[in-house]
Amino acid sequence: MVFVESFDAWYLREHDRMIATLVLTTGELDLAVEGVDEACSRALERWNRVGVMDSPSGWVYRVAINHARRVARRRTMEQSVFRREVSTPDLPAPASELWELVAALSERQRQVVMLRHVAELKQSEIGTVLGISRGTVSSTLHDAHQRLGRLLNDDHEF
């Protein structure tokens, strides 16, 4: 017998974690909210299929990251076409402090680190979400840890 968690229960448990992950991945609250809301509404639309996956959260993270990336790309294009500067509001504390810490990482390193330590996904799940191999996840994570360790002066924490 397969136990399928209800969408509401999953949503209640995972939403805030997903927002935190996306905020620290993108550095923008609006982008994170947009990505998570879109991904969750799509998951709700097809929960019969998503709910029985090995990692429903992995699927939703993948959709959320892709959507946030699309929105960011569209916004950049609009800014260049209409020559309009859109100011991005600063993140509220304590998210802003954390962002200052991880902003120095590359985008890929940031995604891997956040999916591992905030979303608490396994390395294999991270590979599926980002469309990369587990080995790449591992090495990327290793590099990111070293860099963050230097920044925090606490290598062993990671």
Partner 1 sequence: MSELTRRSQALIDEPLVPRPLPESLRLRSRRRQLRRRSIAVGLLALVVITAFSIVKIGDPAPPRSVTSKGDNSNVQLLSYFQAAVNVPNSTLAAVGLPATVAIPTEITPSLSTVGTNGVVSYVGAEYCSYCAIQRWALLVALSKFGTFTHLDRQVLSSSSDVYSHLASWSFVGTKYKSSYFTFEPTETSSSTPNGRGGFAPLEKLSSSQRIAFNKYDPQGALPFVDVGNHYIALGASASPAVLEGLSLGTIGSELNDPTSPVAKAIDGTANYLIAAMCTMEPKATPPVCATFTSRAAAKALGSGVSPTSQISSATTYPTQPPTNAPKSVWKKWSAKEHAFWLATAGSYRSPNPACTVIKISITGRKLTKPLFGIPAGVTIWGMSLLGKCDH
d(CA 158, CA 137): 15
- Answer for which of 24, 50, 63, 68 binds partner 1 (CB under 8 A) is 24
- Please measure the distance between the N-terminal and C-terminal CA atoms of the chain and give it in whole angstroms: 38
When asked if residue 48 is in the footprint of partner 1 (CB under 8 A), the reply is no
When asked if residue 118 is in the footprint of partner 1 (CB under 8 A), the reply is yes
d(CA 59, CA 46): 12
When asked if residue 148 is in the footprint of partner 1 (CB under 8 A), the reply is yes
When asked if residue 71 is in the footprint of partner 1 (CB under 8 A), the reply is no
Residue 11 exposure: Cα atoms within 13 Å on the Cβ side: 14
Phi and psi at 134, nearest 5°, equal: -65, -35
When asked if residue 72 is in the footprint of partner 1 (CB under 8 A), the reply is no
d(CA 96, CA 66): 23
When asked if residue 105 is in the footprint of partner 1 (CB under 8 A), the reply is no
Instruction: Candidates 55-63, 95-103, 122-130, 135-143: pick the segment binding partner 1 (CB under 8 A).
Output: 95-103
When asked if residue 97 is in the footprint of partner 1 (CB under 8 A), the reply is yes
d(CA 135, CA 141): 10
When asked if residue 29 is in the footprint of partner 1 (CB under 8 A), the reply is yes
Instruction: State the CB neighbour count (10 A cutoff) for residue 82.
Output: 9
- Answer for which of 40, 60, 129, 130 binds partner 1 (CB under 8 A) is 40
- Answer for which of 60, 113, 121, 126 binds partner 1 (CB under 8 A) is 113
When asked if residue 41 is in the footprint of partner 1 (CB under 8 A), the reply is yes
When asked if residue 4 is in the footprint of partner 1 (CB under 8 A), the reply is no
